[in-house]
Chains A and B, each alone.
Chain A
Amino acid sequence: MSYKEQWFGNIRADILSGIVVALALIPEAIAFSIIAGVDPMVGLYASFSIAVIISFVGGRPAMISAATGAMALAMVTLVRDHGLDYLLAATILTGVLQVIFGFLKIARFMKFIPRAVMIGFVNSLAILIFMAQVPFIFGINLITYVFVGVTLAIVYILPRFFTAIPAPLIAIFVLSAIVMYTGIDMQNVGSLGTINQSLPTFFIPDVPFNFETLQIIFPTALALSIIGLLESLLTASILDDATETDSDKNQEARGQGIANFVTGFFGGMAGCAMIGQSGINVQSGGRGRLSTFTAGVVLIFLIIVLGNWVVQIPMPVLAGIMVMVCIGTFNWGSFKYMATAPKSDAVVMLLTVVVVVYTHDLSKGVLAGVLLSAILFAAKISKVEVRNKGLNAEASNVYTVHGQLFFASSQDFVSAFDAIEPADRIIIDFSDATVWDDSGVGAIDRVMGRLQPKVGSIEITGLNPSSEKLVNTLAAYADSGKKAGQH
């Protein structure tokens, strides 16, 4: 599909779905701003700016990118300790890092992230967003519970009968009206920040341009860039499948970077693709870049027009909508997955969740999960087995080696020959084994060294060409041992 077709191939449906997404985005952008500890405008400007920019430079048409929960959670500490300007600087740096990752073709590294880690990622994201809602739901008063309950009832039951307007919006509208009409005393968006009814403007974040600033913002920016790319590339894969079209993942990575870079200069927080909103877009018929563009433009238009009303949204309603987002984000198949998947996968998934919930940092959880699964994988394939096949026709004692011979398995390989009986002739058959590295070759060498005093001749057979090359170039036994075998 040409770039022009990606824009104008589906005009009517793209505009309609873009409007639906804009409506659904507003509560989330505000809620994620509150999670991050910044003014609602920071998330709203970010959502506008990221959506509009990514519609031009992204690699996955119809994907919705904006301010997200995953990103908001990663910036909490920076905002609390250093304030908004450092967040904006970090957002710009996040953009730079993501553009670099994009040029380094980061997308191909996605396949090294095990599915167990990705499941842990979305589950811990859901748990953290839920935890962020707890102060707005529990222990306030009875009417708060009632409002949360009614919100949940509306968002889950209403769509069965009526889908033209997103149910969360109806919940917001009806319940805000009730609060305003009855004068119930309740925390609302206005009590947590202000809404500016204006377009974002360009400014350079007020931070000193020195090494100290870089030290403050770099860890956050790195975490943000990893989390953002992870969620964006995951969302892109889902959209590829759901729309049966392909996308350019590296272009998407660069696009995310450009969007964040620019957004930082317009007072917006770093964002990334949103699985849920992209789903709303695709299910509403959005297929082209125009849908993402429309979502961003309509969002800012609505804020400029309706800003006075947005501050009236009661917090229990927003919290209720966020609970819905959590329920939708959580991978409920995980429980079945934990029962059916290999134990090691289940452990990796749990570790990812535990680390994230403990550190409140998704990137640390992903790192821990990837490391553990790499270790478990190495442990799994490092089982090398030596079997004695007895005497062959030429009265040689044949040993067959099975598995992968490398640094993690070389010890087992050597000790397998500890109890070997002295014999005239021994054949070690490597047909079912591969030698991967110096340690593997060293292990063969050591075995040869130990056996030679006890054994008349040792022959090594069945090495595949690459293993043989490695052994021939590295092994010390090659001169004496090989000759011994040729007697």
Chain B
Amino acid sequence: MYKKILVAADGSDHSKRAVQEAVKMAKANPGANVTLLYVIDYEKARNEILQSQGPDGLHLERRKHLQPLEEICRSAGVHFETKILHGAPGPTIVKHANETGYDAVFIGSRGLNALQEMVLGSVSHKVAKRVQAPVIIVK
């Protein structure tokens, strides 16, 4: 049974689809709990602080990213919690997933081409390789 389900979410359309798939799994497993994990790296923190006025503006900005994802869970009647962590996305997701011990991990694929993947690196690839639980990459 899949009881503890993690979704690594960044608010993108890909991560929205990942949440939708995680909700499907959670509904098929009574008592399942979905954790929405939002990871903020240094670059992202820099841009968010630059573009938001003070701590309240920053709080609102981040809520805006997470709110649609929470809504997907809420409207499906799935138990969920939201978690915000700081650090490089790949390693932070891997560390949290392995330390907490999930039954399944969902992550959206950014759908990069070969060159982008070489330059930018693929978070979903890293996560799939290093997380001990089964990882589902959602396109």
- Which residues of A line the B interface, CB within 8 A? 111, 114-115, 118-119, 122, 156-157, 160, 234, 237-238, 241-244, 275, 279, 282-283, 331, 333, 337
Contacts and interface: CB of A to CB of B under 8 A. Distances in A.
Contact of A157 (B45, B46, B86, B119): B119
A81 B23 CA distance: 67
Contact of B42 (A111, A115, A279, A333): A279
B49 A244 contact: no
Contacts of A237: 49
A119 B51 contact: yes
A242 B42 contact: yes
Interface string B27-54: 0000000000000101101111111111
Contacts of B53: 111, 114-115
A275 B49 CA distance: 12
Contacts of A156: 119
A238 B51 contact: no
B49 A238 contact: yes
A158 B40 CA distance: 23
B51 to A, nearest CB: 6
B47 A115 contact: no
A122 B50 contact: yes
Nearest to A278: B42
B114 interface: no
A285 B15 CA distance: 28
A243 B47 CA distance: 15
B77 interface: no
26 contacts: A111-B53, A114-B53, A115-B53, A115-B57, A119-B50, A119-B51, A156-B119, A157-B118, A157-B119, A234-B49, A238-B46, A241-B40, A241-B45, A241-B48, A241-B58, A242-B40, A242-B45, A243-B86, A244-B86, A275-B46, A282-B42, A283-B42, A283-B88, A331-B51, A333-B47, A333-B50
B121 interface: yes
Interface string B77-95: 0000000001010000000
Contacts of B121: 160
Contact of A115 (B43, B51, B86): B51
Nearest to A280: B42
Nearest to A113: B53
Given A156-B119, A160-B121, 9 more contacts: A115-B50, A115-B57, A122-B50, A234-B49, A241-B86, A242-B42, A279-B43, A331-B51, A337-B51
Contacts of A283: 42, 88
B32 to A, nearest CB: 29
Contacts of B88: 283
Nearest to B118: A160
A141 to B, nearest CB: 28
Contacts of B42: 238, 242, 279, 282-283
A91 to B, nearest CB: 27
Contacts of B40: 241-242
Nearest to A337: B51
Contacts of A111: 53-54
Contact of B52 (A115, A160, A242, A275): A115
A-B pairs with lowest CB-CB distance, top 4: A279-B42, A242-B45, A241-B45, A115-B53
Contacts of A242: 40, 42, 45, 86
A157 B52 CA distance: 31
A45 B108 CA distance: 47
A282 B92 CA distance: 14
A111 to B, nearest CB: 6
A234 B48 CA distance: 12
Nearest to A237: B49
Contacts of B49: 234, 237-238, 241
A243 B42 CA distance: 9
Contact of B50 (A118, A243, A244, A279): A118
A156 B116 CA distance: 12
A279 B46 contact: yes
